[in-house]
């Protein structure tokens, strides 16, 4: 009886070992994200590594980065990579596959970790799919600005622009450029480097501009929180007549100020001369 059991057990063991050797064990990992974190509306490069391809029993393997929120592929770009089992890649003949993807992050992607999915199949697995989730780190490092014409000096043709950082992020290397355009002519430098600007803070920039009327276009440049150089276009409406009234009013107030000062000085001098005259007259009467 025991002699019969031993051959059966040996056969079962050999069968199990054959199944183990034929198993197609694929593993996937996300080995790089650039930039980190990703920025909504921008591109991000994701690099995956697939291991276990050295087993020829895997046969035809298909790897896909699933194109759904919060990522998407450009038109004509495939989200699928196919490879055969027994493949060795790389200069060191590593039994793994490195798969890079360049995708766009949804403009409405939320800050923090956003789940993304990869799906891989093998003919060894009867074309059934295995799905694995990874986290895409997202942080909106952009900011936004409100721009106003704060003042215009007609004597020097100097326009003062005021910028308010209305975003949640501080910025560095902030600069404003006014390109050539109709209605306005910039004399001297057409770019003003402001520097750093904190969130919810404001600063000013001066330009020498002929006083035209209409929409003034400008481009704002800045470095975001992860050091990426960004730019945005802004437009403000300028009507010099609004500042002409302030100029007349200011001139009128200044003129009245000068008049008042002169009257005070004249009154003080007259008082001093009167006191001196009165004192001299008193001395003269005492001598007589």
Beta bridge partners of 113: 137
Mean pLDDT of the chain: 83
The per-residue pLDDT for 285 is 60
The residue out of 95, 115, 136 marking a domain boundary is 136
**Residue 228 vs residues 78, 82, 113, 193, 270: alpha-carbon distances, Å:** 28, 34, 21, 17, 69
Q: Domain range spanning residue 111?
A: 25-136
Lowest mean pLDDT among 29-33, 82-86, 116-120, 204-208: 82-86
Domain presence at residue 232: yes
| Stronger pLDDT, 3 or 43, i.e. the higher one | 43
The domain tally of the chain equals: 2
> What pLDDT is attached to residue 13?
38
The band of 19, judged by pLDDT with boundaries at 50, 70 and 90, is very low
> Percentage of residues in the chain with pLDDT exceeding 70?
78
Residue 164, SS3 per DSSP: strand
Asked which of 106, 136, 166 is the last residue of a domain, the reply is 136
Contact 216, 186 (CB under 8 A): no
**129 plus 72 within the same structural domain:** yes
| Per-residue pLDDT at 128 | 65
Residue with tokens 């009154």: 267
The answer as to whether 209 is a domain residue is yes
pLDDT tens for each residue of 163-197: 999 999 999 999 999 999 999 999 999 999 999 99
> What residues have CB less than 8 Å from 214, skipping those under 6 apart?
182, 183, 184, 237, 238
Decide which of 136, 165, 200 is a domain's last residue: 136
CA distance 29 to 32: 9
138 phi and psi angles, rounded to 5 deg: -125, 140
pLDDT recorded at residue 287:
60
Same domain, 191 and 93: no
CA angle 149, 151, 152 (to 5 degrees): 105
**pLDDT 10s digits, 86-124:** 765 554 566 678 899 999 999 999 999 999 999 988 776
Q: Where are the alpha helices (DSSP H) in 80-167?
A: none
User: What are the tens digits of pLDDT across the range 216-251?
Assistant: 999 999 999 888 899 999 999 999 988 886 654 444
Q: How many CB atoms lie within 10 A of CB 99?
A: 20
Residue with tokens 């009245």: 256
Number of Cβ within a 10 Å radius of residue 61: 24
pTM here is 0.66
The whole-angstrom separation of Cα 104 and Cα 64 is 16
pLDDT at 53: 80
Average pLDDT over residues 57-63: 84
Q: What is the pLDDT of residue 163?
A: 97
Position 7 in a domain: no
Residue pLDDT, tens place only, 258-287:
678 788 888 877 778 777 766 666 666 656
Q: Are 93 and 193 in a shared domain? A: no
């Amino acid at each position: 009886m025991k002699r019969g059991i031993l051959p059966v057990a040996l056969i079962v063991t050999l069968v199990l070992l054959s199944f183990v050797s034929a198993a197609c064990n694929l593993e996937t990992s996300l080995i790089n994200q650039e930039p980190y974190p990703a920025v909504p509306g921008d591109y991000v490069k994701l690099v995956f590594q697939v291991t276990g391809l050295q087993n020829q029993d895997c046969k035809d393997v298909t790897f896909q980065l699933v194109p759904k929120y919060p990522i998407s592929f450009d038109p004509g770009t495939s989200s699928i990579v196919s490879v055969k089992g027994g493949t060795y890649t790389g200069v060191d003949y590593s039994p793994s596959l490195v798969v890079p993807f360049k995708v766009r992050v949804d403009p409405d992607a939320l800050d923090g970790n956003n789940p993304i999915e990869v799906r891989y199949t093998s003919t060894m697995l009867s074309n059934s799919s295995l799905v694995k989730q990874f986290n895409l780190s997202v942080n909106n490092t952009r900011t936004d600005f409100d721009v106003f014409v704060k003042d215009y000096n007609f004597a020097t043709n100097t326009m003062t622009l005021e910028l308010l950082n209305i975003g949640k992020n501080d910025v560095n290397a902030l600069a404003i450029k006014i390109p050539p355009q109709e209605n306005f002519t910039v004399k001297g430098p057409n770019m003003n480097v402001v520097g750093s600007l904190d969130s919810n803070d404001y600063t000013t920039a001066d330009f020498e501009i002929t006083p035209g009327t209409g929409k003034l276009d400008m481009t704002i440049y800045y470095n975001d929180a992860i050091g990426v150089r960004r730019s945005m276009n802004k437009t403000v409406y300028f009507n010099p007549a609004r500042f002409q009234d302030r100029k007349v009013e200011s001139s009128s107030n200044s003129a009245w100020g000068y008049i008042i000062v002169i009257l005070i000085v004249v009154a003080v001098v007259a008082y001093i001369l009167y006191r001196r005259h009165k004192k001299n007259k008193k001395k003269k009467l005492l001598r007589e």
